[in-house]
Copies of this chain bind each other. A is one copy, B any other.
Amino acid sequence: MGTTTGRPRDPRIEQAALAAVRALLAEGGYAAVTVAAVAARAGTTKPALYRRWPALPHLVHEAAFPGELAAELHLGDDLATDLAGVVRGTRDALCDPVAAAALPGLLAEVQTWPDLHAAMIQRFAGVFRRLDERLRAAVEAGEAHRDARADDLLRLIIGAVISGVLLTPGQLDDAWVERLTATLVRSLRP
């Protein structure tokens, strides 16, 4: 009940708000993403935004990380190639200008909005599942030692990218991807 009652929401507002957030993030960074600014840019008002998202960080999160990070992830080659794909995909997702601008603010707001925490790590759920399967196969095939854990591995990749984005932006080039991949492959050797 209740799901179909009431006036339906104007679907254009949601899209306009998400686009406005992305534009503001790209232009002025997280500090420029104000509720009033988003509303003005989206051609709507603040209450309309608060009806759709509990707070600004939720809207920013949805704008900067619209879906699963593993969307285009391809696994199935040899382990090194697959790991390079995960590293590169994570790097690309978090180093995207919009995402990079949003990330520090979002990570800070996690303290205030616990539900954001679940939403953010959920973005990695698909990657984790597929990486976990791949790693099991690698263990079976003798490509990786038996103590290897996908959660540790993914945390290592994500941590490297996040700390790179936050502290040393611009250094996460393709050479870095290769170096990190090589390091991970070495660490997995039986």
Measured CB to CB, the residues of A under 8 A from B are: 29-31, 101, 104-105, 107-108, 110-112, 117, 120-121, 145, 147, 149, 152, 155-156, 158-164, 166-168, 176, 179-180, 182-184, 186-189
23 A–B contacts from the bound complex (CB under 8 Å) = A31-B112, A101-B111, A105-B111, A107-B107, A107-B166, A108-B108, A117-B167, A120-B167, A145-B186, A147-B179, A149-B179, A152-B179, A152-B183, A155-B163, A155-B164, A155-B167, A158-B163, A158-B167, A159-B159, A159-B161, A159-B162, A163-B163, A184-B187
B155 near A168: Cβ-Cβ < 8 Å: yes
**Chain B CB within 10 Å — which of A147, A158, A163 has the most?**
A163
Q: In whole angstroms, what is the CA distance A86 to B18 when docked?
A: 42
Secondary structure class of chain A's binding surface, majority of residues: helix
Q: List 16 other contacts, CB 8 Å, given A156-B183, A187-B187.
A: A29-B111, A30-B111, A104-B108, A104-B110, A104-B111, A105-B108, A107-B166, A110-B166, A120-B167, A155-B160, A155-B164, A156-B159, A158-B163, A159-B159, A159-B160, A183-B187
Name the B residues within 8 Å of A159 (CB-CB). 156, 158-164
Instruction: Considering the complex, give the chain B residue whose CB is closest to the CB of A148.
Output: B183
A117→B163 CA distance, assembly (Å): 12
A163 CA / B155 CA spacing, docked (Å): 7
User: Complex Cα distance A105/B104, Å?
Assistant: 8
Contacts of A176 in B (CB 8 A): 152
A135 to B69, CA, bound (A): 34
